[in-house]
Amino acid sequence: MVVESAAPDPGEQLAAAIAAGDAERIVEILMGNVWYFFTHDYRALQQAAATLSDEMLERHPVLRLAHPLGGVLARTGRPIDPSEFDELLASDDPTTVGLFLMIQGLASRANGDTAAAVRSARRLEDWIRQTEFAASAQHDGPLWLFHHQIGSTYLVAGDTLNALRQLGVSRQIGVASGSVDAQRGAAGRIAIAHAVRGSLAVAEKSLAEALALPGSAAAYASAAYGTERAAAALISVERLAPDADDRIAELDAIDNFEIIWPFELLAKARLALGRQQPSEALELATISAATHRVQAGSFAADVLDSLTIEALLALGDLSGADRVAASSSARGPLTRIAAVQASIHRGELTQAQEDLRYLGTRPTLSPLQRAQLAVFTVRLDALRGGQVSSHLAEEFAAAVTRQGYRRLATTMPATVVPLIRSRLSPATETAFDAATADLAFADSAGSITRALTESERRVLDALVLHETVADIAAALHVSPNTVKTQLRSLYRKIGATTRADAVAVGSRMLSSQHGG
């Protein structure tokens, strides 16, 4: 009777190769059993990669990424060229091909090349559709991880809708196969996607589902737990909840190498802005830009540019905010919205209105972004007409009370808040006051006047007190033609089309300056 010998254990083979100091054999075992070590003994994979020379790691980018300092190497050394994986993709084994397609995308993400990472994600997505791969949905198969990484790539690219679709598939596979890693990893990143979109209750539910599951395996633990902490911070900051400081304290340092660093930055800087601490928000953005590879057009670039613009505007540095907006080569939705805020600060109300109309037609806008547009529409109404429509006032109050956007309320100028309250129903006013009692609203004094020259400010003040151009000219000791030129300029800056519009704006600015 012939007894078939059991297949050699990859872990034992690796241990023997390490003991013998045989680097080539170590590489052979690791590259031939990537999924095994990734799933069953990730620490052995990391430890083995750490024994290899720099030259070996350069020749094998998969192992370079698996190195304990893989994130550091990807950012401080030579960027990994995705074409280095092409030879590996020639394998006859579908699982191996899928794994290397996935790792190719991970390499691009580690390089900070979001565009290349998205291309790899789409390639892997197409490959899954075209390949008979149903068996990989079983517990030990990598199909859930493929969808998880595709979704994660879309997430860091700012495409939350496609991210939710892919992460939802990953979670469903995890439920069907009983994989805790699949379920927990997907639930956490789904929570982040919903938190960024402003669906806070849904985000909170998904986060609770993640936290109720057992702990993740070593290969996924760091990403899973970091994701969950970031999601919790985003939810808490948007609500300006009492535990916001605790949630922020749990996040990694701003210069960390995790792919979720833009979401951590968003939470930290938004809390600072919500507390009227723009210098702190600007410092966070500055450090993040200096310590990460940020690709133009990426979600990270969108976060950095928008936060920088908001912080500079709050500091009164309108020219600095304009420079950032102008240098943003591919504006994302966050930066576009921040640019509207800059237009309002410049007094270019007509331009701001046009931008709001354009942004409002975008079908992919999130609930939070739509609420931001509503805030700006309220501000424009207040600046132009001296009052706020009941519809807009109720919409803004609902965003604060029902949707939980308390942080967004802090972006509303303090001088506009009474106009909003005066248009609310008694029940809504009570709920709004309770939700905002502990908040500090934005200081709007000078938001328009910073856009005006000293001469234009004097003409606007005089316009409130004098009926004719001749009277204004006499009061200011200038010619009527000079007054006409300055009136044309300031009308454009404050968005006024009639004298009555300009007088209304000037009256409110005088009242604000004198504490009225």
CA dist 312 and 320 (Å) reads: 7
Q: Which domains does the chain have, with CATH numbers?
A: 10-70+88-249 (1.25.40.10), 261-365 (1.25.40.10), 387-442 (no CATH), 453-513 (1.10.10.10)
Neighbours of 15 (CB within 10 A): 14
Q: What angle do CA 309, 310, 316 make, to 5 degrees?
A: 90
- For residue 511, pLDDT beyond 60: no
The answer to whether the CB of 279 falls within 8 A of the CB of 320 is no
Q: What pLDDT does residue 297 have?
A: 86
Stretch among 291-295, 313-317, 425-429, 492-496 having the lowest mean pLDDT: 492-496
**Mind listing the pLDDT tens digit for each residue in 8-60?**
788 888 889 889 888 899 888 888 887 788 777 888 888 888 888 888 887 87
Residues in the chain: 516
The answer to whether the CB of 98 falls within 8 A of the CB of 138 is no
Q: What pLDDT does residue 448 have?
A: 56
Q: What pLDDT does residue 46 have?
A: 84
Percent of the chain surpassing pLDDT 90: 45
**Mind listing the pLDDT tens digit for each residue in 350-383?**
888 999 999 999 888 999 999 999 999 998 888 7
- For residue 273, pLDDT beyond 90: yes
Query: Which residues are 474's β-sheet partners?
Result: none
CA dist 141 and 509 (Å) reads: 65
Q: How far is residue 130 CA from its own chain's centroid?
A: 32
Take residue 119 and report the two structure tokens written for it.
């291309």
Average pLDDT over residues 328-347: 86
Average pLDDT over residues 54-73: 77
DSSP state of 84: G
What residues contact residue 39 under an 8 Å CB cut-off, 6+ apart?
140, 217, 219
Average pLDDT over residues 333-341: 93
Q: What pLDDT does residue 34 have?
A: 78
Q: What pLDDT does residue 3 have?
A: 45
Average pLDDT taken over every residue of the chain: 86
Q: Does residue 382 or residue 183 have the better pLDDT?
A: 183
Phi, psi dihedrals of residue 413, rounded to the nearest 5°: -60, 140
What residues contact residue 469 under an 8 Å CB cut-off, 6+ apart?
480, 483, 484, 487
The answer to whether the CB of 108 falls within 8 A of the CB of 93 is no
Report for 121-130, 198-207, 434-443: range of highest mean pLDDT: 198-207
CA dist 371 and 377 (Å) reads: 10
Q: What pLDDT does residue 182 have?
A: 93
Query: Which residues are 442's β-sheet partners?
Result: 413
Q: What pLDDT does residue 227 have?
A: 96
What residues contact residue 95 under an 8 Å CB cut-off, 6+ apart?
35, 136, 141, 142
Stretch among 110-114, 207-211, 385-389 having the lowest mean pLDDT: 385-389
The answer to whether the CB of 443 falls within 8 A of the CB of 473 is no
Q: What pLDDT does residue 516 have?
A: 44
**Mind listing the pLDDT tens digit for each residue in 188-201?**
999 999 999 999 99
Neighbours of 348 (CB within 10 A): 20
DSSP state of 137: G
Stretch among 68-77, 91-100, 104-113 having the lowest mean pLDDT: 68-77
Q: Does residue 159 or residue 454 have the better pLDDT?
A: 159
Phi, psi dihedrals of residue 442, rounded to the nearest 5°: -65, 145
Closest-CA residue to 104 (of 89, 91, 94): 89
Q: What pLDDT does residue 496 have?
A: 64
Q: What pLDDT does residue 443 have?
A: 64
Q: How far is CA 75 from CA 45, 107, 292, 294, 390, in A?
A: 21, 11, 8, 11, 52
Report for 63-77, 101-115, 225-239: range of highest mean pLDDT: 225-239
CA dist 326 and 305 (Å) reads: 10
Q: Residue 507: pLDDT band by 50, 70, 90 thresholds? A: low
Q: Residue 384: pLDDT band by 50, 70, 90 thresholds? A: confident
Take residue 338 and report the two structure tokens written for it.
């921040």
Q: What pLDDT does residue 226 have?
A: 94
Average pLDDT over residues 51-77: 76
Q: How far is CA 354 from CA 119, 339, 401, 416, 452, in A?
A: 34, 12, 28, 21, 21
DSSP string, 305-340: HHHHHHHHHHTT-HHHHHHHHHH-SS--HHHHHHHH
Q: Does residue 434 or residue 83 have the better pLDDT?
A: 434
Q: Residue 99: pLDDT band by 50, 70, 90 thresholds? A: confident
Q: What angle do CA 491, 494, 500 make, to 5 degrees?
A: 60
Q: How far is CA 175 from CA 76, 189, 408, in A?
A: 39, 16, 36
- For residue 255, pLDDT beyond 60: yes
The answer to whether the CB of 215 falls within 8 A of the CB of 221 is yes
Neighbours of 215 (CB within 10 A): 12
Q: What pLDDT does residue 134 have?
A: 54
Q: How far is CA 363 from CA 196, 281, 333, 366, 465, in A?
A: 16, 30, 12, 9, 46
Q: What SS3 class is residue 413?
A: strand
CA dist 147 and 121 (Å) reads: 9
Q: Residue 90: pLDDT band by 50, 70, 90 thresholds? A: low
- For residue 247, pLDDT beyond 80: yes
CA dist 462 and 478 (Å) reads: 12
For CA atoms 162, 165, 167, 169, give the dihedral sign. Answer: negative
Q: How far is residue 31 CA from its own chain's centroid?
A: 35
The answer to whether the CB of 269 falls within 8 A of the CB of 284 is yes
DSSP state of 297: T
CA dist 133 and 115 (Å) reads: 26
Q: What pLDDT does residue 406 have?
A: 96
Q: What pLDDT does residue 248 have?
A: 97
Q: What pLDDT does residue 451 have?
A: 63
Q: Residue 515: pLDDT band by 50, 70, 90 thresholds? A: very low
Closest-CA residue to 501 (of 413, 383, 415, 397): 383
